[in-house]
Amino acid sequence: MDIPYTVEERSDTGLFNAKLGIWLFLASEVMLFGGLFSAYIFLRFGAPDGAFHEWGQELNIPLATLNTLILISSSVTMVMSWASLKLQDIKKYKLYMGLTLLCALVFLVIKYLEYTAKFDHHIFPSTNTFFAIYFTLTGLHGLHIIGGMIVLFYLWIPGRKMWLSNSEQFTNRVEIVGLYWHFVDLVWIFLFPVLYLL
Amino acid sequence: MSTNHDTKDIQQHIKVYMIVFATLAALTVATVAASYLDLSRGEAIFLALAIASIKGSLVASYFMHLISEKALITWILMLTAVFFFILMLFPMTSFIDQAQLG
């Protein structure tokens, strides 16, 4: 039996099912990160005056700025991969999806360099409350990047064969993972100033 | 297959994506530059979060197509936003408690 509403829209929601599903999932993700942002505010107010700003000076702003630009670029290549499918250009899709994965990989490598530099300076989550929430937030964000990369890779190579059998459903799949990917970018857009600049 | 109308529509979208990309990159540089300004802590937090909110709105509106999305999704997100702000207010309760305890 076929799964209903993978392409056609339901008359009651006006959406194909996966679109509604991913937005509900993203709403739950807002609350997940919201809980941790709430914890950040709590810890910041609870720390001695100016301590969070001072502890944050240990972080590498140029590297984080570069990572922000890389993640924004990956959002553009992601949306371009979807647009390429809409234009029936599978070659460009492959190129843009590959670039998205490359950006994600570079982001993780930079994050690895940042983490190892901290560990080399004996800075760990247990060092103080700032680094406890820093490692928690950036670690959870990094896990989201890794999870996204697994799905992106699937749609880049093994899952691409669906383009031949059901191009509309495949395009919808790419749109759905794109929404997730943009959300991960959006979270970083707030993490960057909150952790590195304030 | 896509029609000519669809193709023109998507090509128009692509132009918008490029403009949004350039704006996001410029705002990222502006965020970093603003952090070096001689501002009070409150002003710096307000400015950084204001720029981040603009960037976030651009991503949500154009890359996530919220600007042209169905009403149901807008309602879901508005409900989420209400709960999100309640969550942000939770830490404040501890400070009210502290103030009452003197």
In chain B, where the domains are located: 1-68, 70-102
Domain count along chain A: 1
Of B11, B83, B88, the CB nearest to A41: B88
Mean pLDDT by 10 residues, chain A (198 residues): 84 90 97 96 90 92 96 98 96 98 98 97 96 98 98 97 94 97 97 94
Is A150 within the bounds of a domain? yes
Q: What are phi and psi of A11, to 5 degrees?
A: -70, -30
Give residue A142's domain range: 61-197
Is A37 within the bounds of a domain? no
Is A53 within the bounds of a domain? no
Quickly count: other Cβ atoms within 10 Å of residue B53's Cβ.
12
Q: According to the model, what pLDDT value does residue B1 have?
A: 46
Cβ atoms A38, A45 nearer than 8 A: no
Query: Which of A140-154 are b and which e, b meaning 16 or more Cβ less than 10 Å from the residue's Cβ?
Result: ebbebbeebbebbee
Is A32 within the bounds of a domain? no
CATH number of domain containing A103: 1.20.120.80
Complex-level ipTM: 0.92
Cβ atoms A145, A187 nearer than 8 A: no
Q: Is A31 on the interface with B (CB under 8 A)?
A: yes
Average pLDDT of chain B is 89
**Alpha carbon of A123 to those of A56, A119, A120, A193: distances in Å?**
12, 5, 7, 20
Is A38 within the bounds of a domain? no
Contacts of residue B64 in chain A, CB cutoff 8 Å? 178-179, 182-183
Determine the residue among A103, A186, A187, A195 to mutate to test chain B binding: the one whose Cβ has the most chain B Cβ atoms within 10 Å: A186
